[in-house]
Amino acid sequence: MDIEELGRRIMERSKTMTRAERIKLLRDAHIIDEEGYYKEGFFSEETIARDRANGKPTVL
């Protein structure tokens, strides 16, 4: 499977995912922490600070 096919499969799957499934996927991939904010390592300190200042974490 090439990268384009993988991208298409991901896009198709995301259309049918529930919000809970998306959040679980982001947590499992260590993109967001348990509180629902961006995790360090994937985003700049500025982005993380802005995310936390916004005060709207991605939670169920």
18-60 per-position pLDDT tens digit: 988 988 888 998 888 888 888 888 889 998 898 889 887 776 6
Confidence of residue 1 (pLDDT cuts 50, 70, 90): confident
Alpha helix (H) residue ranges in the chain:
3-16, 19-28, 45-54
The answer to whether 17 and 49 have CB atoms below 8 angstroms apart is no
Q: Which residues contact 59 (CB under 8 A, 6 or more apart)?
A: 23, 35, 36
Residue 7, domain member (yes or no): no
In-domain check, residue 31: yes
Structural domain contains residue 46? yes
Q: What is the pLDDT, as a whole number, of residue 46?
A: 92
Only one residue has tokens 């679980």, namely 24
Of 11, 10, 33, 12, which is closest to residue 23 (Cα–Cα)? 33
The pLDDT value given to residue 5 = 92
Give a yes or no: residue 42 inside a domain: yes
Domain count, the chain: 1
Torsion angle in degrees (nearest 10) through CA of 33, 59, 29, 10: -160
Flag whether 59 is in a domain. Answer: yes
For residue 3, being part of any structural domain is answered with no
